Structure 1
Amino acid sequence: MKLWLTVAALSGFLSVAIGAFAAHGLEGRLPEEALAWLATGLRYHMLHVAGLLAVGVLAGQAPTRSLTLAGGGFLLGTLLFSGLLYAMALTGARWLGMIVPLGGLGFLVGWVALACYALSRQEERT
């Protein structure tokens, strides 16, 4: 589906831009702990760009509810998990750390939904 490929491309662009900004603009300006939060957020962000790309490619062949759920989970996970880690690093607002695990749940929902899609496709072929 064009939507998920577009979301994946924009998310990939943002992860590279944020990574470059962190490496070149924030090194030495933030505490090590904040840089570690940024690094973790970036790692999960870029990994889930790949998940969004997979959803986009697969949805182009046969869009399903499970693919929509997978894409939504990856997007929500990126916004909450990575986005809140970025915000924590830049603002020092540690209380945001209480919400970050909800992004992890979004990622988990996305991967389970993608697995459900794969299993449903396997059953159709047998």
Structure 2
Amino acid sequence: MMYRTILAIAAINGLLAAILGAYGAHGLKPELSEKLWSAYSTANQYHFYHTLALLALAAFASVRHWPKLVWVAWGWQLGIVLFSGSIYALALGAPSWVGPITPLGGLTLMSAWALLFQQAFANKDI
């Protein structure tokens, strides 16, 4: 059943990434400076990349029961919120104190990838 939770997280993220990408391209791009548009676009790319990773993780979790996979999923989710979310917010005019959240999000994404790597060697059933 863990794969259903991860699949639901991936689906919500895919929907949000598509909405935010369309909104950015059609509503924000003309209003943002080149620097802010580039940042917003980067946030959207990482949002999509990790949505696809969540989707792949859900598929893997449907055939293998590794309890720590859910931690990878939640790590990616938190990383999306902190990394992409803070960049989206900054591009939309959030106060500068939001900026230091971005690297914490990046570290969270990296930590989840490292946990997945560790789990690949901890589980002998692949």
Q: Distance in 2 between matches of 1:92 and 1:102?
A: 17
Task: Name stretches of at least 5 consecutive residues in structure 1 with no aligned partner.
Answer: none
Normalized per residue, which structure has more helix? 1
TM-score (norm 1): 0.90
Match in the other structure for 1:55: 57
**Alpha-carbon deviation of 1:59?**
1.9
**Alpha-carbon deviation of 1:16?**
1.0
**Alpha-carbon deviation of 1:20?**
0.6
**Alpha-carbon deviation of 1:48?**
0.3
Displacement over 6 Å in runs of 4+? none
Task: Name stretches of at least 5 consecutive residues in structure 2 with no aligned partner.
Answer: none
Q: Distance in 1 between matches of 2:65 and 2:76?
A: 16
1:35 equivalenced with 2:34 (yes/no): no
- How many correspondences in the alignment? 124
Match in the other structure for 2:112: 110
Match in the other structure for 2:7: 5
* Sequence identity percentage: 35
C-alpha RMSD of the superposition: 1.5
CA offset digits 1:67-118 (Å, max 9, x no partner): 0111011000000000010000001522211111111111111111211222
Q: Equivalent residue of 1:28, what SS?
A: coil
Q: Distance in 2 between matches of 1:63 and 1:110?
A: 17
